Structure 1
Amino acid sequence: MTGLGLEEIQGRVGADWARIIDLLKGKIALGSVSAKGITGEHMRNSAEFVAEELTKVGIDARVVQSTNADGTPGAFEVIGSRIVDETAPTVLLYAHHDVQPVPDPTAWETDPFTGVERDGRLYGRGSADDGGGIAIHSGALHALGDDLKVNIKVFIEGEEEMGSPSFIPFIEAHKEEFDSDLIIVADSGNWSDRIPSLTTSLRGNTDLDVTVKVLEHPVHSGQFGGPILDSNTLAAMLIASMYNDKGELAVPGIEGGQPVGGLQRDLDPDQVRKDAGVVDSYRLAGTDSLASRLWTKPSASIIGFDAHPVEGSFNVLADQTRFRISLRTAPTQRPEEAQKALVDFLRSHAPLGAQVEFSCGENGMGWAMDPDSQVVRNAEEAMRQAFGCDPVNKGEGGSIPFIPELKRLFPKAQVLVTGPEDPKGNAHSPNESISLYGLERNIVTEALLLDSLGN
């Protein structure tokens, strides 16, 4: 790579380090929990704080309140730009300023809304997800300063943790603010805080509510039990029919896949078991690489089940049972196709002729990176220099539905998914933290990448 060079950028990031840490601590202290109300004053304050910090690094930033599709007020968004040369490439930097709730502060070892440095990590809600993304963008732009050779547009979202309901209406109303050649989404993470990664794929998602009915009303289990199975049992039989004896989802029409760009390193099953808190007796379901099972193959989870609680139960046969399936789809399959395949399968497998009805939820498309693009090679080289080792690219089992929507609206733009997280970060959980070692190198990586794009 040509341009400023690694040592120069490392030196600039090091000189700016105290400001970066103050930014993160200030962001944590705001407690920008969107679940408390995306239109609340706390969210406006959060957006204004981020806009002010971006202004410090040369971005003409402002806060704009979005509008939902139904016309109601939406989130407080931060948008801005810095145009250095109309003929140069344009890069859109994305992160989000809202954070997850803290249901039980007593589960934390520190105050969730006070940034605390300990053992090389900074603890606090939003330190990694996604205050770290904001810090990466801010640090990289500061490091480049007047040497920036690409045009920058910035979008810091205010409702990502709430599913981004006003995201598309906002973009469609501000297309000029988003039109770019490259979009860097800093809302994912690395293989570890010492080994960098590009996120190569994201699974899609769809929801389906299923109601299994066997009776017009509950009846006594002693009088009718035997020839008539209760709806809870029938629902369980229907759910079980989706899987083969290996525990794999086996529904025709729901596609699988292999890791995008090839599998560079498989996940450690012992570490996955430890991270998830799997009981010793349980055998991990499925076949093939663990990475494919978590990143690119489909999975179905029963995330809700309506049944009478054990406490206070009595001897009746349940007449109907409702449950909700959350289906994660392969990165390249249309989720509505997978949803239809699931409906067709469940309808045809109604146990003993029970009545099965469906209510289809919303769909979110997955995403797959182009592993052969030049910008991917540039990003991998920037990671190699900043971290001093080869990157290990990885997929994510979760979904970020707005990425394919961005691709739909801006088809010429390439997308890179990076981010500040690592397996120890506990995003969405108690004791969330960010590795300061990893953060510094992520900032250097983004600065090197932006510098390479302008040469």
Structure 2
Amino acid sequence: MAAEQSPSSRAAAASPRGGGGESQPAARLDAVMPGVRADLERLVRIPSVSAPGFDFSPIDRSADLVASLLTECGLATRLVAAGGRPAVLATRRLPGRPTVLLYAHHDVQPAGDPALWTSDPFEPVERDGRLYGRGAADDKAGIMVHVAALRALGDDLGVGVVVFVEGEEEYGTGATPRLLHQLRSDLQADVALVTDVGNWAVGVPAVTTSLRGHVTATLEVRTLSHAVHSGMYGGAVPDAVIALSRLIATFHDDAGDLAIAGLATTPDPAIDYPADRLYAEAGGTPFGTGSATARMWSRPSVSILGMEVPPIEGATSTLTPVARALVSLRIAPTEDPSRAFALLEAHVRRNIPWGATVTLTRRGAAPGLAVDSTGPVYDQVRAALRDAWDGVDPVEIGSGGSIPLLLDLAEVLPDTTIVLNGVEDPDSRAHGIDESLHLGEFRRACLAETLLLHRLAPPR
């Protein structure tokens, strides 16, 4: 690990020590936050994209930096892998005291076209109280929430900790689930804090109690054995782009509601998303009927993430023989991904247009998750969030996104209370252009975890 102290470790070393009182953790957190911010920016500068086809050496660099930051916190740290991208495991157990597992991930999504960003996606820039950059919110801020709490509490940390920061959450190779099972004994904990979700709104914290699962598949439509002149044959035989478009259109009815029969749903959430706020934050237009939160959190949805069709530039006057689309099916928290794929496949078979040859190939899948948010740990979670957000009560929400690792984590740690919270707000634009982190919410998330770890410690 790096021998030279980072700005953050110097700030941590200078922070006040000693226990007692709820105000002291907040003061100690504020003392280390400048260094936390500096180290977050260091992480964002590393383009640790885990998608196939990218250079994976930055993932090694980000893993090394995360390991260094955790070593500076006094944890025994090592890099671990099971054939995929490197993860970081760091531990400091205290005999006779509860242990808390802290999870995050250091890999990021591709940035896309840098020209579409307001600033360089891998050069963090602050504008109007937000820090812009790929990974600034998802999920390098999650890593630094853990680091901030460890630095703030320092030697007075009254619980054991295990930190697991993986490197293939965005694009998995299948290695991380194997790694979890290999590390089963190392990961044992009473509570697991997963900082890879969001809050309800700026100024309103949240406890996330469910995640949708997902199935991704490649949909290929072939209408011709070879390209033919569009003037000579157009109107007598279909091109594959039109056939693919017609098939995709069957996924929804005229109102925008999903038309794939048989997929599971869960009960609608108690909270709803006001329509004006939803469409303003999403930058979109109305789509579908019924509760917006139900459509995002507890019901299935389908999206087209990409298509392989001839580009406009350089297109010729021919009928395209084959076209492909990447289909993303989000499924209810309780749905079985294999069952969902079978229902998607059955729908496709029923709606093949004009005798086309259609192939649906499953690419990936992950189940959702529903957690029980009752009990003394969640009482402490809610209290910590309330105090960090200046008395605002946290709301209970779901998430339309997936964290594939969590079901494996629940299997490896069946007696562990899993808590999902994080630092993103609805305008963070995780995975999108101009991803950003609200710095005020980041500080509150760091404070909430600091308070929670402080409160989970039994009296000395």
Q: TM-score scaled to structure 2, two decimals?
A: 0.85
Q: Which residue of 2 aligns with 1:55?
A: 71
Residue 437 of structure 2 corresponds to residue 428 of structure 1: no
Contact 2:234 2:319 in 1 (8 A): yes
For 1:101 and 1:310, how far apart are their aligned partners in 2?
Answer: 24
2:49–2:56: 8 Å Cα contact kept in structure 1?
no
Per the alignment, residue 394 of structure 1 pairs with: 397
The residue type paired with residue 417 of structure 1 is L
Contact persistence 2:169–2:404 (CA under 8 A): no
Among 236, 245, 253, the residue aligned to 2:254? 245
Alignment-derived partner of residue 371 in structure 2: 369
Q: How many angstroms apart in 2 are the aligned matches of 1:310 and 1:20?
A: 46
CA–CA distance in 2 between the matches of 1:217 and 1:136? 55
- Write the mapping of 1:202-221 to structure 2, written as runs, cut at 5 A: 202-218=211-227
**Corresponding residue number in structure 1 for 2:299:** 297
Q: Distance in 1 between matches of 2:290 and 2:24?
A: 44
1:67 partnered with 2:82: yes
Query: Partners of 1:111 and 1:227 in 2: how far apart?
Result: 49
**What is the rounded CA distance, in whole Å, between the counterparts of 1:49 and 1:288 in structure 2?**
46
Quote the offset at 1:346 in angstroms: 1.8
Which residue identity lines up with residue 22 of structure 1 in the other structure?
Answer: A
- Residues in 2 aligned to 1:206 and 1:271: alpha-carbon distance in whole angstroms: 29
How far has the Cα of 1:216 moved from its partner?
Answer: 4.5
SS of 2:154 mapped into structure 1: helix
Percent of paired sites with the same residue: 39
Q: Counterpart in 1 of 2:281?
A: 275
User: Which aligned pairs between 1:441-452 and structure 2 lie closer than 5 A?
Assistant: 441-452=444-455
Residue 13 of structure 2 corresponds to: none
- The one-letter amino acid of 2:88's match is V
Which residue does the alignment assign to 1:90? Answer: 99
Instruction: State how far apart, in whole Å, the 2-side matches of 1:114 and 1:224 are.
Output: 52
Size of the alignment, in residue pairs? 438
**Counterpart residue number, 2:8:** none
**Aligned-residue offset at 1:4:** 4.4
Residue 159 to residue 224, structure 1, CA distance change in 2 (3 Å): closer
Q: Does 1:139 align with 2:148?
A: yes
Greater mean deviation of Cα atoms: 187-196 or 220-229: 220-229
Query: Which of residues 61, 74, 77 in structure 1 aligns to 2:87?
Result: 77
Instruction: Sort the Cα spacing of 1:285 and 1:443 in 2 relative to 1 into closer, same or farther, 3 A.
Output: same
Which residue number corresponds to residue 322 of structure 1? Answer: 324
Unaligned residue ranges in structure 2 (runs of 5+): 1-18
Instruction: Look up the equivalent residue of 1:67 and give its one-letter code.
Output: A
Instruction: Answer yes or no: is the 8 Å Cα contact 2:231–2:317 preserved in 1.
Output: yes
The answer as to 2:31 corresponding to 1:15 is yes
The answer (yes or no) to whether the contact 1:214–1:231 under 8 Å persists in 2 is: yes
After superposition, what is the alpha-carbon deviation per residue over 1:416-441, rounded to whole angstroms, capped at 9, x for unaligned? 12112222333334443322221221
1:354 Cα shift? 4.1
Instruction: Look up the match of 1:186.
Output: 195
Unpaired segments ≥5 residues, structure 1: 69-73
Distance, in Å, in 2 between the alignment partners of 1:356 and 1:29 is 43
Task: Tell me how far 1:343 sits from its aligned partner.
Answer: 0.9
Distance 1:386 1:373, change over 3 A: same
Counterparts of 1:318 and 1:189 in 2: how far apart (Å)?
Answer: 42
Match of 1:334 in 2: 336
Question: 1:366 offset after TM fit, Å?
Answer: 1.1
Decide whether aligned partners of structure 1 residues 27 and 207 sit closer, same or farther in structure 2, where only a CA change above 3 A counts: closer
Measured on the aligned residues, the alpha-carbon RMSD in Å equals 2.8
Does the 8 Å CA contact 1:13/1:139 hold for their aligned counterparts? yes
For 1:110 and 1:309, the matched residues in 2 are separated by: 27
Map of 1:379 onto structure 2: 381
Question: Structure 1 residues 214, 56: closer, same or farther in 2, change over 3 A?
Answer: closer
Q: 1:222 to 1:48 in 2, by over 3 A?
A: closer
